[in-house]
Amino acid sequence: MLFNYLKIGCRNLLKNKGFSAINITGLAIGMASAILIFLWIYDEVTYEQFHEKKDRIYEAWNLASFSGELHAWNTTPKVLAAAIQKDLPEVETTTRAAWPQRIQFAVGEKKINASGQTVDSTFLQVFSFPLLKGDPATALMDPLGVVVTEDLARSLFGSNDVLGKTVRIDNRKEKKITGVAATPPVNSRFQFEYLLPWADLRADGDDDSYWGNNSVRNYVLLKANASPASANAKMKVLKPRYDNEDPNWQMFLYPMSRWRLYSSFESGKETGGIIVYVRIFATIAILILLIACINFMNLSTARSEKRAKEVGIRKVAGALRGHLVGQFLGESVMIAFIAGLLAVLIVVLSLPGFNRLAEKTMRLPFGEPAFWLLLLGIIVLTGVVAGSYPAFYLSSFRPVSVLKGTFRKINALITPRKLLVITQFSIAIMLILSTIVIRKQLQYAQERQTGYDKAGLTYMFMTGDMDKNYLLIRQELLQSGAAASVTKTSSPLTQNWSDTWGIFWDGKSPDDKTDFDRFSADENLAVTAGLTMVMGRDFDLSKYPTDSTAMLLNESALKTMGFKDPLGRIVKDGDMEFHIVGVFKDFILGSPYYPTKPMVVEGAKRWFNVIHVKLNNKNSVAASLKKMEAICKKYNPQFPFEYHFTDEEYDKKFANEQRIATLSAYFAALTIFISCLGLFGLAAYMTATRVKEIGVRKVLGASVSSITGLLTKDFLKLIGISFLIGAPIAWYCMHHWLQSYPYRTAIEWWLFALTGLLTAAIAIATVGYNAIKAALANPVKSLRSE
C-alpha cells in the first residue's frame, strides 16, 4: 500500500511540475532558513559546553549600588581569589584571568603578534583546554614559561613539537614554552593564542591586593557535591569582611551555563542577553517554516477538485479515511523529504555567507547522528504539519458528490484557505515592519552626533619603545606633514577603559556615588579629536606646564558637580588633585544607544596607551600613513606598524544591531518570497476556477482592467486583514525591543503606511500576473469548453 502511495505521489509530482516546483522550492527555502537559524542557535547554546567540569564552574560577580541603582558586573579584584579559597569551603579551586592582551612573539627574525591572557596556574585544571604537549598541572607554574596554541607554535616554529623552546616576548623577555594547547573551540569566551602564568604579571609589578581594583575575572570551581546556594550565601557577605568601603557591597557566583546567554543585568537582575535573540530567531525559523507549510496547505487544498475524483474512487474501492489521510500525509512527507535534501544543498552553498554575516565559523555536522536526526525531524515535522490539513480536508470528501461531479468548493466569507493566507501575510507584515524599525533604530543611532570629528582620525596602541620615544614620534609626525595634530590618551576615543565613583570636589554630597568615565590625555586632545570646547581651553603643556595635573570636564560632569564657575576649581581623583581648565561638549565614548555619562579627562600625569593622530588633509591618506609607518618603524623597530581608523572602530559599535538588521532583512525577504510563491500558485488556481466567469463577463463587456481588479480585489482584502493583525503585533514587539535602548527612534505612522503599501504592491504584482493573463484570454475558448 505504501509503495502504491509513493508511486502515485511521484506521478502527481511529475504531472504537476509547476505546483511541485512551488511547493518544493517554498519548503526547501523554509527548511534551509530554519536549518541555518538552528545552526546559529546550536552554536550559541553550546558555548562553553565542552568543559568537563562545566556544572561546577562559576564566575565571581560584584553587586553594588551607585547613585541609587544596583549594578552587577564581572570584573573583580585580583585579591578576591585568595579570599574565596580561604572563606568558602565549598570551593575546590579558583583561577584568575587578566584582560586579553596582544603581545609580540619573536623567534629569530620571525615576529608574530598574538592575543592571549595571563592566568593562574590552575587555569588548565578548571577549564578543559587540553594540552597536546606538556603537563596541564605544571605548565603554568613556571614564571618563565608560556603556553602557546598549536597554531601559534606552527606559525613560530613550523611544528608543534616545541616544548622547551624559547621565544622572546615584546622584545624584552625570554620565555620557555611549557605547553602546547589545542586551539580553543570557537564557542568559548576564551580565545587565546598564548597563556602566560600569573607569576609573570607579578614579576612585572602588576599584581596587587587592592579590593578597590576591579580589574580581572575570578573563576571558581566548586567541589563535586558542594551547594552553590551555600557558597553564594558566603559570597554575599565576603567583601565587607575584607574591605570597609561599602558594607552593602555583595558578590555572587554566576554559573557557567548562564554566561553566554543570560549575562545581561539591569538593576542587579538578569534581563536576558543573547537568549533574547535565540528566542527571536527560533521564532523566526518556526514562522518561516510555517509559512512554507501554509503554501503547501493552500496549494494542495486549492487543487482539491483535481484530487477529489481519486478520493472518491479510492473510497468506493474500499479505502477508509485513515488510508487516505496516511496517503496524503505520506505524499507531503515525501515532498518534504525532497525539499529537505534541496535545503541541505542550499545550506551548504549559503553557509559561508551566513558565517560571514553572523561572524561565526559554523559548519554542518554531517558526521554527527544528532544532525541527521534533527534533519529527519524537521522533514517529518514539516511534512506532517504541511500535509495535515490537506490530508484531513481531502479525505473528508464524500464519494457520491465527487464521482457525480456535484462537488464544488465553498466560497464562504471565512474559509480555512483564506485564514491561512491571512496568517501567512500577517507574519510577513510583522517581519517587514520589524525590519524597517530595526533599520530605523540603527540609522538613528548612526546619525547621532558623536561629539568629535572622526574624519582622518587614526590611533595606534603604544607598543615597545613608542612610549619612550613619544615626543620624537609626535614631532616627526607633525614636521613630516603626515599629521595635523597628535595626542596621547589612555584609551581610544571609541572605548571606555576606565570609570570611577572616586571623584571628589568641594560640595560633593557624601551619598553621591556618581560614576564618571575616566580618560586621560597629554595635550591637544580637543584639536586632535575635534571636540567642541564650551568653556576654558584644551590641555597645552608647552604654554602651561602645570597642565600635567589639569582636568577637562564634559558638560554632564559639570552639571553633576554643579559648578557655576568651574575653571580653576580643584577636583580629586583618589589621592591626586587636578585643576579644571576647560569644559567640552559631551562626546560618545561608550555605547551610542546610551546617554553620555559624566566624564573627566585627566592631564599628563596619568597613564597612556594610545596615540591619536589627526591626519593632515593636505596629503592623501595613503601618503600620510606611509610617513607614519616610516616614523614608527624608526622609533619602534621591533614592532610592526599597526593603526586603526576611528570611524571604522566607531562603526563596530553598531555591529550587533547591523547584524540583526541584516539577518532580519534577509529573513523578511525570504518570508515575503515564500509567501508570494504560495500566493502566485494560489492565484493561478483561483483564476483557473473562474475561467468561465471571466469569459461570461468579457462577453458581456467587461474590460481587462475591471477583470484584473475583480481577481486582485479578493486577495487585497486578505492582505488588508493581515495588515490589521500583523501591524499591531509588530508594533508591540518592536516597542518592547526599543525599550532596551535609552537612545531610541520612534515608531511613526508612516512606517505602517510604508509596510502596508509595500505588502500591497508585492501582492498586486504577484496576483496581477495571473489576473491580467486571465483577463486577456479569449473568452470563446473558456465558454466553448462548457
Q: By CB under 8 A, name the binding residues for another protein.
A: 1, 4, 7-8, 11-12, 15, 309-310, 312-321, 323, 398-400, 403-405
Q: At which residue does the C-alpha cell 568537563 appear? A: 52
Smaller CB distance to another protein: residue 12 or 122?
12
C-beta closer to another protein: residue 309 or 537:
309
Closest CB to another protein among residues 315, 653: 315
Nearer to another protein, 319 or 694 (CB): 319
CB of 5 to another protein, least distance (A): 10
In whole angstroms, give the CA distance from residue 680 to residue 766: 6
Contact of 138 with 127, CB cutoff 8 Å: no
Decide if 40 contacts 352 (C-beta within 8 A): no
Taking the complex as a whole, the smallest distance from the CB of residue 399 to another protein amounts, in Å, to 5
CA distances from 75 to 127, 202, 206 (A): 19, 19, 16
The DSSP bridge pattern shows strands 457-461 and 644-645 to be antiparallel
CB distance 481 to 616 below 8 Å: yes
Nearer to another protein, 205 or 318 (CB): 318
What is the nearest approach in angstroms of another protein to the Cβ of residue 292?
25
Q: Closer to another protein by CB, 11 or 102: give it.
A: 11
Helix H or strand E segment including 10: helix 2-15
Q: Which is nearer to another protein, 2 or 224 (CB)?
A: 2
With respect to another protein, which residue has the nearer C-beta, 387 or 726?
387
Q: How far is the CB of 321 from another protein (least distance, A)?
A: 7
Q: Taking a C-beta distance cutoff of 8 angstroms, is the pair 378, 319 a contact?
A: no
Shortest distance, position 410 Cβ to another protein, whole Å = 14
Q: Min. distance of Cβ 1 from another protein in angstroms?
A: 5
Is the Cβ–Cβ distance between 194 and 114 less than 8 Å?
A: yes
Bridge partners for 600 per DSSP: 518, 553
Q: Are 665 and 652 in contact (CB under 8 A)?
A: no
CB of 692 to another protein, least distance (A): 20
* Phi, psi at 420, each rounded to 5°: -65, -45
Nearest residue to 660 (alpha-carbon basis) of 445, 364, 451, 495? 445
Nearest distance, CB of residue 673 and another protein, angstroms? 30
We find the least distance from the C-beta atom of residue 274 to another protein, in angstroms, to be 50
Host H or E run for residue 536: strand 533-536
Distance CA 24, CA 346 (A): 13
Please report the DSSP string for 114-135 in residue order. Answer: EEEEEE-TTHHHHS---EEES-
Of 258 and 323, which CB lies nearer to another protein in the complex structure? 323
CA angle 638, 642, 648 (to 5 degrees): 170
**Choice between 323 and 626, CB closer to another protein:** 323
Of the pair 182, 403, the CB lying nearest another protein is at: 403
Least distance from C-beta 313 to another protein, angstroms?
5
| Smallest separation (angstroms) from another protein to the CB of 315 | 7
Q: Which is nearer to another protein, 335 or 625 (CB)?
A: 335
Decide whether 394 or 493 has the Cβ nearer to another protein: 394
Cell of 749: 505612522
CB of 400 to another protein, least distance (A): 5
Reduced to 3 states, what is the DSSP secondary structure of residue 559?
A: helix
Q: What is the 3-state secondary structure (H, E, C) of 165-202?
A: CEEEECCCEEEEEEEEECCCCCCCCCCCCEEEEHHHHH
Nearer to another protein, 326 or 709 (CB): 326
The least CB distance from residue 411 to another protein, in Å, is: 15
Cβ proximity of 160 and 150 under 8 Å: yes
**Phi and psi dihedrals of 184, rounded to 5?**
-60, 145
Burial class (CB in 10 A: 0-12, 13-18, 19+), 715: buried
For 529, phi then psi, to 5°, come to: -85, -15
Q: Which is nearer to another protein, 189 or 314 (CB)?
A: 314
Calculate the alpha carbon distances from 295 to 139, 391, 679, 748 in Å. Answer: 60, 14, 8, 32
Q: How far is the CB of 775 from another protein (least distance, A)?
A: 30
Q: Which is nearer to another protein, 322 or 369 (CB)?
A: 322
Minimum distance from CB of 409 to another protein (Å)? 17
SS3 assignment, position 219:
strand
The 3 state secondary structure assigned to 389-446 is: HHHHHHCCCCHHHHHCCCCCCCCCCCCHHHHHHHHHHHHHHHHHHHHHHHHHHHHHHH
Helix (H) or strand (E) holding 647: helix 646-651
CB of 408 vs another protein, minimal distance in Å: 13
Q: How far apart are CA 276 and CA 260, in angstroms?
A: 12
* Closest-CA residue to 694 (of 685, 706, 682): 706
Alpha-carbon distance values, 207 to 29, 96, 142, 152, 199 (Å): 55, 12, 16, 27, 9
Calpha distance 725→719 (Å, rounded): 10
Smallest Cα–Cα separation from 74: which of 231, 282, 242, 218? Answer: 218
**Nearer to another protein by C-beta: 141 or 403?**
403
